[in-house]
Amino acid sequence: MAGAPTLTDGVVTLRPHHEDDIPACVEQSQDPDSQRWTRVPIPYELEDARRFIRHAMPGGWATDQEWAFAVQAAGVDGAPRYAGTVSLRNLGDARAEIAYGTHPWARGRGIVEAALRVLLEWGFTERGLETVIWWAHEGNWASRKVAWRLGFSCDGTVRRWTDQRGDLLDSWVGTLLRTDQRAPRNAWYDVPRIVGAQVVLRQHRDNDADRVLEACSDERTAYWLGPLPQPYTRADAEVFVRNRSDAMARGTAVHWVIADPTTDDLLGTVSLMGIGGHSGAEVGYWAHPAARGRGVMSEAVRLVVRHAFIDTEDGGLGFDKLRLVSAVDNPASRHVAEVNGFHEVGTERAGTLCRDGRHDAVIYDLVPGDLS
């Protein structure tokens, strides 16, 4: 079929690639994020860009295998500039795979999202697509957030699936159907930094893994948190840190690191979990052994409860109920609940798994009206 048509929403323009795009294409493909997350050749030379623009892009249209567009948007000086490439790879039977990459100058400006909206509209209406699939290497959060904004599902991780220069990488996958709303399917929680008197609640970082390892190898933590891997390894700590973003991107949890205000070292973690469930979000926590016995967790839970109940228009989460579960024979954990005003509502037999088996659990709850 003929080459790319020109499409626009008035702000971004999707058009055929042309020779003038070659230098910007080289710059984009030499950028570390492009190399990490896409299959561009390394090293990337001028000749690679020439082949891409003169042969690969028109070839996709000629064979109907890939409908690729150059994205053009106003640069900082207002002049139109090549911003990247977006495409739909035709998989047949009304299915296509979406692909996108932007030049570094165009990132963080919403340009790719706007371009993909134009592309998807064209694909669904002009190409009769029913399902568009999105793949990204696990950990490509910028790509995942763009896909989330467009309404794609994220259906999980396919292990060792995507080929990346000879390696098979774990990959996220999701789809967008023609009939789906092109808007997020769920909340995506950020982690606000909350400053207290003796703690700071913050987002996790990769280098928290050492402290997580110390805390979760500790005998007391391991005893009360029965499901923790045993023995707890450095790899377990890395997975723990990495996986925390996933629940937040799915809108099911907010996880904070409790940090020392001076050193920023991890003192523990506190979470709101099970968000969206009918019985209210559940507060969960553990403390590093060096941080116990000085009110750190009581303060951290107080800050989280406050944030949970503050209205959304005032920057909080606007929740109307919280829940907390503790083994009946775990006095330190029960103290944290009770000092924060949680009400004991009953006992669930064999309600929590400890290292030596199931223990009865006290169920607590808290509604905004309980707080004076």
What strand order describes the sheet that includes 343-354?
A: 194-195, 200-202, 254-259, 266-273, 281-287, 322-327, 357-366, 343-354
**Is residue 145 within the footprint of ligand COA (CB under 6 A)?**
yes
Q: Is the separation of the CB atoms in 203 and 197 below 8 Å?
A: no
**Is residue 140 within the footprint of ligand COA (CB under 6 A)?**
yes
How far lies 58's CA from each of 50, 84, 339, in Å? 12, 16, 67
Residue with tokens 């001028």: 46
Residue with tokens 């629940």: 247
Q: Which of 29, 34, 85, 326 binds ligand COA (CB under 6 A)?
A: 34
Among the listed ranges 121-129, 142-150, 325-333, 345-353, the one in contact with ligand COA (CB under 6 A) is 142-150
- Of residues 101 and 151, the one with the C-beta less far from ligand COA: 101
d(CA 115, CA 82): 12
- Of residues 114 and 300, the one with the C-beta less far from ligand COA: 114
Q: How many residues bind ligand COA (CB under 6 A)?
A: 19
d(CA 160, CA 307): 39
* Shortest CB 347 distance to ligand COA, Å: 40
Q: Which of 141, 170, 229, 358 binds ligand COA (CB under 6 A)?
A: 141
Q: Which of 27, 66, 97, 113 binds ligand COA (CB under 6 A)?
A: 113
> Where do the H-state alpha helices sit in the chain?
22-30, 32-37, 46-51, 57-63, 111-126, 141-150, 209-217, 219-224, 234-249, 296-309, 331-339
**Is residue 174 within the footprint of ligand COA (CB under 6 A)?**
no
* Shortest CB 134 distance to ligand COA, Å: 7
- Of residues 83 and 283, the one with the C-beta less far from ligand COA: 83
Q: Is the separation of the CB atoms in 129 and 119 below 8 Å?
A: no
Please list every residue from 42 through 101 that binds ligand COA, using CB under 6 A: 100-101
Where do contacts with ligand COA occur on this chain (CB under 6 A)? 33-34, 37-38, 100-102, 107-108, 110, 112-113, 136, 140-143, 145-146
